[in-house]
Structure 1
Amino acid sequence: MTQHVVEADSSTPVALHETPAPWSAVAAIGVGAFALVTAEFLPVGLLPQIANDLAISEGRAGLVITIPGIVAACSAFLTISLARTFDRRYVLWVLLSLLIISNVLVATATELYVLLLGRVLLGIAVGGFWTIGVALGPRLRPDAVGRATSIVFSGVTLGTVLGVPAGTLLGGAFGWRAAFAVSAVLGCLVVIALMLLLPRIRPEQLSGASQLPAVLRIPKVQVGLVAVVLIFTGQFAAYTYITPYLNQISGIESAQLSLLLLGYGVAGIFGNVLCGWCVERDVRLAVLSTALLLGCSMLLLVCTGEHPLVVIIAVVTWGLGFGMLPIAIQSWIFSAAPERLETAAALFVSIGQLAMGAGALLGGIAIDQYGVASALWLGAAGVLVGGAWIWMRFPLTRVE
């Protein structure tokens, strides 16, 4: 039997030993990314159900979004430090197994602390996978780097934009616990696929937390990380509470809400494609466009949330911007440190996940104190300030 072994080399990001891995291995990683990101965003469409079932406020229920983000921020660097010498396929097996355990705990939780424990395990898995898993496509298929990267990131994108409508549909039909049970089953299938399909993948030699100071000294990285904090915090301060807003202010109930969030997800897929085209021409324009789409759609929704047609336009436009967000920011960060991708990825994951968790926390505090509309005002402010920061500091640069 032919052995597909992907070696690391000290002078290049990828060195191929024998033949490239099969495309099914790359696809399995993409599905793994989809499973993890979907689980991360499932609660967004289920917060009212979770809050009612556990007899807690929607602000406290928002901790199920906050906790994974904070934990993922820590686990990204811990993963590249603790797993430096391990075969990457073993690392992925462990990370996806944590996803399964997490979903089982959440699906069976009757107390808030059990629910949050499950989300802690998810945060560990998400941070580690974003750091290691998303960089493996080019290593498995160095003969088709662009296509391999696209397949892996398609899983991230689909999970990001479809996780909420999928959770809302399942929760509306069978209850919120069923949504997490289905996610656990998906995790089991992914682990089996990874065990059967992944070849041996040795760790990169030029990676680890020791490269962090060099990456942080890059001016383009410094400017971008400030933008990540502002835009991600704003996005998730508002997005985490989109379901309560649409329920309470717009008067949209479960069936219509599922369709509207599905439209959000479909628009996000188009946003992903559009942003891929934009970053090849002008990465500054891509990030600015993303910030403007997000901020303006939030403002439109919060100002005219009682008008059904405007609500649809605002939510779909928001989805378009959300689909652009990860591609725009990641392209910029990676273009700033092309020789230290794994460390740059860990840095981006840590800051981004921390900002996501902070956004959900701040949004929860805002709605508990000032009402659900305040989360959207807060989100719009953060995103638009991030866009203004980019406008002032981001040099006109193209992704080569």
Structure 2
Amino acid sequence: MSNVQVNIQVGEKAAGVRGWLAVAAVALGIFTVITAELLPVGLLTPMGSALEVSDGTTGLLVTVPGLVAAVCAPLLTVVSGRLDRRLVLAALMALVAVAHVVSALAGHFAYVLGARVLLGVGIGGFWAFAGGLAPRLVPAHQVGRATAVIFGGVAAASVLGVPAGTLAGELGGWRLPFAVLAGLSLLVLAALLLLLPPLPPQRGLTTGDLTALLRRNPRVRTGLTLTALLVTGHFLAYTFVRPVLAERYGISGAAVGWLLLGYGVLGLAGNFFAGALGPRRILLISSALTAALTALALLPGGSVTGALLLLAWGLAYGGVSVALQTWFLTAAPDDIEGATSLNVAVFCLSIALGALLGGRLVDSLPMAAVPAAAAALVLAAALVAHRKETRP
């Protein structure tokens, strides 16, 4: 083998390593922003108590950033124009860090809520740009695996980030997790600037491009319907998992944090297991979620029953994010940024809607109504998936 060939192979290997380091930086960024969005889930009761508001009102700390992110995801893809996506991602991560510093120091609910508005801008923009980056960072034959790693950040946030934040809140008070996330955001900011290559936009998007994509691509419309049903249903129940476990199964305090950590481990496994489920993965995932949520609504029992059902829920939900993104990558391979921004908008809006609906149910009906309503929405997703995924 000639020296030239050796040098080419070394160069390709170095480029491959750098590409995967960039993927890891993006995945850590996704993990950070989604953990930030969902952090109040595990801290709902202590935050509400400290800030002197009800559980339902505290749920607005999940609803508000979700609404803002839903608006900002498509909006920022349009207004960012020809800006380098590397610099845009870094600026958005800096905004996330500022929001967490304010949250950690705020002494009134209104200030925390205002910080969550800033956070929503960072979440919507970062997720929309980051979700479609895998094809630009690694070779074509590695895109599927890189996408799973990036969206493993979403799964890890909801299944590991929130439990870790819950445990930190139990040990050091609810402000500690916000301070830790501020530091993590700065770490991610540095990693993005160091590891990502320049990422000029492949083409500028307009609002007309997004509406045209919706109009001409029925699989994108179906994917958005699945996102809305699955995510609204999940977060209707998950936002209030702490009071559900306490009232229905007698699980409270530090035990919730440890159980959510177990939920997280199984959910992260579910994220990578989803890739092996084949083209009917969304049908299988939504069916498993329906079963777990229905059992939470109907089965009485003690802490063991509640723990087992929660773990089953985590395993089922872990594959949702990567399954949905895979749907959009195949539905619109030539317009990944546009399709991803629409998916992120609906995803974040659904988080907000789920938290809002769950808050109204928690404050007005028996706690079993929360997982029951969630199960009904996820069942609707299973029916849509059955109709679309089994069609020749």
Are 1:220 and 1:394, in contact at CA under 8 Å, matched by a contact in 2?
no
Give the number of equivalent residue pairs.
377
Could you say which residue in structure 2 is the equivalent of 1:370? Answer: 365
Could you say which residue in structure 2 is the equivalent of 1:87? Answer: 84
What pairs up with 1:184-223 in 2 under 5 angstroms?
184-205=182-203, 207-216=205-214, 217-223=216-222
CA distance in 1, matches of 2:185, 2:121: 15
Displacement, 1:345? 0.3
Displacement, 1:22? 4.4
What pairs up with 1:300-379 in 2 under 5 angstroms?
300-379=295-374
Displacement, 1:267? 0.9
Are 2:104 and 2:179, in contact at CA under 8 Å, matched by a contact in 1?
yes
Displacement, 1:19? 5.8
Deviations along 1:186-231, whole A, 9 cap, x unmatched?
1111112222222211111164433213321222222222222222
Indicate the SS of the match to 2:318. Answer: helix
Specify whether residues 183 and 222 from structure 1 end up closer, same or farther in structure 2 by C-alpha distance, changes over 3 A only: same
Deviations along 1:43-73, whole A, 9 cap, x unmatched?
1110001110011010000001111111111
Displacement, 1:310? 2.0
Deviations along 1:264-304, whole A, 9 cap, x unmatched?
101101111211111xx22xx21111111112111112222
CA distance in 2, matches of 1:39, 1:326: 17
Could you say which residue in structure 2 is the equivalent of 1:382? Answer: 377
CA distance in 2, matches of 1:22, 1:317: 34
Could you say which residue in structure 2 is the equivalent of 1:11? Answer: none
Which amino acid is the alignment partner of residue 117 of structure 1?
A: G
Are 2:148 and 2:272, in contact at CA under 8 Å, matched by a contact in 1?
no
Could you say which residue in structure 1 is the equivalent of 2:266? Answer: 267
Alpha-carbon RMSD: 2.0
CA distance in 2, matches of 1:391, 1:228: 15
Are 1:103 and 1:181, in contact at CA under 8 Å, matched by a contact in 2?
yes
Are 1:67 and 1:357, in contact at CA under 8 Å, matched by a contact in 2?
yes
Deviations along 1:129-177, whole A, 9 cap, x unmatched?
1111122232122364334333322222212211221111101111111
How high is the TM-score relative to the length of structure 2?
A: 0.91
Indicate the SS of the match to 1:135. Answer: coil
Specify whether residues 86 and 305 from structure 1 end up closer, same or farther in structure 2 by C-alpha distance, changes over 3 A only: farther
Are 1:209 and 1:343, in contact at CA under 8 Å, matched by a contact in 2?
no
Could you say which residue in structure 2 is the equivalent of 1:32? Answer: 29
Which deviates more from structure 2 when the two are superposed, residues 214-223 or residues 183-192? Answer: 214-223
How high is the TM-score relative to the length of structure 1?
A: 0.89
Indicate the SS of the match to 2:249. Answer: coil
Are 1:75 and 1:124, in contact at CA under 8 Å, matched by a contact in 2?
yes
Which deviates more from structure 2 when the two are superposed, residues 19-28 or residues 290-299? Answer: 19-28
As a proportion of its length, which structure holds more helix?
A: 2
Could you say which residue in structure 2 is the equivalent of 1:155? Answer: 153
Are 2:67 and 2:120, in contact at CA under 8 Å, matched by a contact in 1?
yes
Q: Are 1:230 and 2:225 an aligned pair?
A: no
CA distance in 1, matches of 2:197, 2:218: 37
**Structure 2: gaps spanning 5 or more residues:** 1-11
**Structure 1: gaps spanning 5 or more residues:** 1-15
Q: Are 1:106 and 2:78 an aligned pair?
A: no
Q: Are 1:59 and 2:56 an aligned pair?
A: yes
Which deviates more from structure 2 when the two are superposed, residues 92-101 or residues 220-229? Answer: 220-229
Could you say which residue in structure 1 is the equivalent of 2:238? Answer: 239
Q: Are 1:178 and 2:173 an aligned pair?
A: no
Could you say which residue in structure 1 is the equivalent of 2:7? Answer: none
CA distance in 2, matches of 1:56, 1:371: 20
Q: Are 1:121 and 2:121 an aligned pair?
A: no
